């Protein structure tokens, strides 16, 4: 027992940011549960910081420091809330459409950022349920007069009845509503054409233009109607063509979380790029070059998927992790993960309920703590085998083939190890978010994650590949 406690103490000593992250998370959860006044948590933070400074290097100084971190998390959570009244009279809302989905010919969903409400600036989000007459596109800004309703409110509207029919289970709908509310999405609007007062000039941002170019490149492949929506969703985050039936099939097999670009996708891309660029470590400054190229690819992928908040958070997290890998320390990687997660929570406390943030943290933790030790063991085993072959094998051509075979075997084993680790740690969270648990996810989950990584990698190569136009006309 003492040996186990000693090992835990050593881990904490090498990764103190893990304890700091725990303090911030505790403060956020307590503030969300008890909802104390903002002034009280600010006073608690100031007093804790003062006591930590006054007793620096003395007894209880560490306790005051962690207390200050807990109060800082509480302050972040209190400042994250945007109070918008639900129901009542219709309000004048200036919205910016962030995503549009068409799960069926008669149903259209959209998510929008509320830029202002009755002339007052706002940073919340709202879900739109549109009728057949409303046409929306990502990046568009509209001015509407509508009433925001809660996720648990009555569904008297015709479109609400259609939405309720399109979702499979009322329990999953209730869980989804709670999740959306805690994520900063204040409610939903049943939008008709008559509610739209003005449409502003459409000025797509750089990320939206990059995503549109990527979508055009994928369209040129002329994939089937059942394959192209999956490629668009996994590769560039465009879920507009995902139907309700297709999403239901993925939910039943435990792979619904793969249809939305999240930290899991960025994590697999991070691992894939590092494996592909592994030979750079043989050259001088190769580790630095690998880190710079990997970070550039990660942010290029984030831009290609539209720079969604969850993707940005994942890109920041994996960029810092990539830099920490230059130190080649397992503990520094875990420390970097905890520090990044803590910084994101201090920036916005409600990130703790965001699925992208949760999947990012879990995926990186699984890669660092579970997959990387196995990959290092495989690399050491291959190194010993290669040295043994070099002593016994005199034929250079056969030796070169053996080296290629060992590298391919190592890459496949590493990819599968990462897939298994990421699947095992994300299956419980995905089951909770979607309200269902499938035993098939245990069997096919690692394979689906591995194939999703292949889809992302191949699609990225295709999108970055310059298109060569071949002239087949005679003469």
63, 112, 469 from 82: Cα distances, Å? 32, 15, 51
How far apart are the C-alpha atoms of 19 and 15, rounded to whole Å?
8
* pLDDT, position 151: 74
Least confident of 14-28, 187-201, 257-271: 257-271
| Rg of the Cα atoms in the chain | 25
User: Under a CB-based contact definition with an 8 Å cutoff, are residues 70 and 21 in contact?
Assistant: no
Q: Which helix (H) or strand (E) holds 111?
A: strand 107-117
61, 94, 233, 297, 344 from 49: Cα distances, Å? 10, 40, 46, 40, 20
Residue with the larger pLDDT of the pair 473 and 65: 65
- Work out the number of other CB atoms within 10 angstroms of the CB of residue 364: 28
How far apart are the C-alpha atoms of 433 and 383, rounded to whole Å?
42
- Work out the number of other CB atoms within 10 angstroms of the CB of residue 305: 27
What are the structure tokens assigned to 210, written together? 């990059």
Residue 83: CA atoms inside 13 Å, Cβ hemisphere, count? 2
- Work out the number of other CB atoms within 10 angstroms of the CB of residue 363: 30
How far apart are the C-alpha atoms of 376 and 374, rounded to whole Å?
5
Closest CA to 274 of 60, 451, 457, 442: 457
- The 10 Å CB-count burial string (b at 16+, else e) for 88-100 is eeebebbbebbbb
* pLDDT, position 157: 41
Report H helices in 55-157. 61-80
Query: Is the pLDDT at 44 greater than 90, yes or no?
Result: yes
Whether the full predicted model's pTM is greater than 0.95, yes or no, is: no
How far apart are the C-alpha atoms of 17 and 339, rounded to whole Å?
6
Closest CA to 300 of 355, 236, 344: 236
Residue with the larger pLDDT of the pair 173 and 430: 430
User: Under a CB-based contact definition with an 8 Å cutoff, are residues 21 and 342 in contact?
Assistant: yes
User: Under a CB-based contact definition with an 8 Å cutoff, are residues 70 and 23 in contact?
Assistant: yes
* pLDDT, position 15: 73
Q: What is the pLDDT averaged over residues 166-188?
A: 61
Residue with the larger pLDDT of the pair 19 and 327: 19
Residue 466 gets which letter from DSSP?
A: P
Looking up tokens 């550039």, which residue turns up? 296
Average pLDDT, the chain: 78
- Residue 458 sits at the vertex; the CA angle it makes with 457 and 464, to the nearest 5 degrees, is 90
User: Under a CB-based contact definition with an 8 Å cutoff, are residues 419 and 450 in contact?
Assistant: yes
Task: Give residue 179's pLDDT band: very low, low, confident or very high (50, 70, 90).
Answer: low
Task: Give residue 404's pLDDT band: very low, low, confident or very high (50, 70, 90).
Answer: confident
What are the structure tokens assigned to 344, written together? 């994101």
How many residues appear in the chain?
Answer: 475
Task: Give residue 2's pLDDT band: very low, low, confident or very high (50, 70, 90).
Answer: low
Farthest CA pair distance, the chain = 88
Report H helices in 393-475. 396-434, 439-464
pLDDT tens, residue by residue, 124-161: 889 899 988 888 887 889 999 999 887 754 343 434 33
Reduced to 3 states (helix: H, G, I; strand: E, B; else coil), residue 243 is coil
Query: Is the pLDDT at 18 greater than 70, yes or no?
Result: yes
User: Under a CB-based contact definition with an 8 Å cutoff, are residues 348 and 76 in contact?
Assistant: yes
């Amino acid at each position: 027992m003492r040996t186990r406690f000693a090992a835990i103490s050593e881990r904490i000593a090498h990764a103190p940011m893990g304890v700091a992250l725990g303090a911030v998370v505790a403060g956020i959860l307590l503030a969300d549960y008890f909802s104390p006044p903002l002034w009280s948590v600010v006073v608690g933070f100031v007093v804790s910081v003062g006591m930590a400074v006054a007793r620096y290097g003395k007894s209880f100084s560490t306790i005051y420091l962690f207390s200050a971190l807990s109060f800082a998390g509480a302050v972040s959570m209190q400042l994250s809330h945007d109070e918008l009244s639900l129901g009542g009279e219709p309000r004048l809302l200036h919205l910016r459409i962030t995503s549009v989905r068409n799960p069926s010919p008669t149903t259209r969903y959209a998510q929008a950022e509320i830029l202002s409400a009755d002339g007052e600036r706002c940073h919340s989000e709202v879900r739109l349920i549109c009728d057949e007459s409303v046409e929306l596109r990502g990046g568009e800004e509209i001015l509407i007069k509508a009433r925001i309703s809660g996720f648990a409110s009555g569904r008297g509207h015709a479109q609400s009845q259609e939405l309720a029919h399109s979702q499979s289970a009322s329990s999953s709908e209730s869980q989804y509503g709670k999740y959306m509310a805690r994520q900063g999405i204040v409610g939903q609007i049943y939008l008709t054409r008559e509610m739209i007062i003005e449409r502003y000039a459409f000025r797509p941002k750089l990320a939206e233009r990059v995503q549109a170019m990527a979508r055009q490149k994928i369209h040129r492949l002329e994939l089937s109607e059942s394959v192209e929506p999956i490629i668009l969703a996994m590769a560039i985050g465009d879920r507009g063509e995902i139907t309700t039936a297709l999403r239901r099939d993925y939910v039943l097999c435990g792979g619904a979380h793969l249809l939305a670009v999240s930290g899991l996708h960025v994590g697999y891309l991070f691992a894939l790029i590092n494996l592909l660029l592994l030979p750079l470590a043989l050259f001088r400054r190769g580790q630095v070059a690998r880190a710079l190229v990997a970070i550039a690819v990660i942010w290029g992928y984030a831009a290609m998927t539209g720079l969604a908040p969850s993707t940005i958070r994942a890109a920041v997290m994996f960029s810092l992790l990539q830099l920490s890998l230059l130190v080649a320390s397992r503990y520094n990687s875990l420390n970097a993960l905890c520090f990044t997660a803590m910084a994101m929570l201090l920036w916005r406390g409600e990130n703790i309920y965001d699925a992208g943030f949760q999947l990012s943290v879990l995926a990186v933790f699984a890669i660092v703590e579970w997959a990387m030790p196995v990959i290092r063991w495989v690399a050491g085993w291959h190194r010993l085998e290669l040295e043994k072959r070099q002593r016994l094998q005199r034929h250079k051509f056969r030796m070169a083939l053996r080296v290629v075979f060992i590298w391919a075997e190592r890459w496949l084993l590493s990819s599968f190890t990462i897939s298994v680790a990421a699947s095992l740690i994300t299956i419980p969270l995905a089951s909770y978010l979607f309200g269902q648990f499938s035993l098939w996810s245990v069997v096919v989950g690692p394979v689906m994650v591995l194939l999703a990584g292949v889809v992302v990698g191949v699609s990225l190569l295709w999108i970055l590949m310059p298109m060569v136009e071949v002239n087949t006309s005679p003469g």
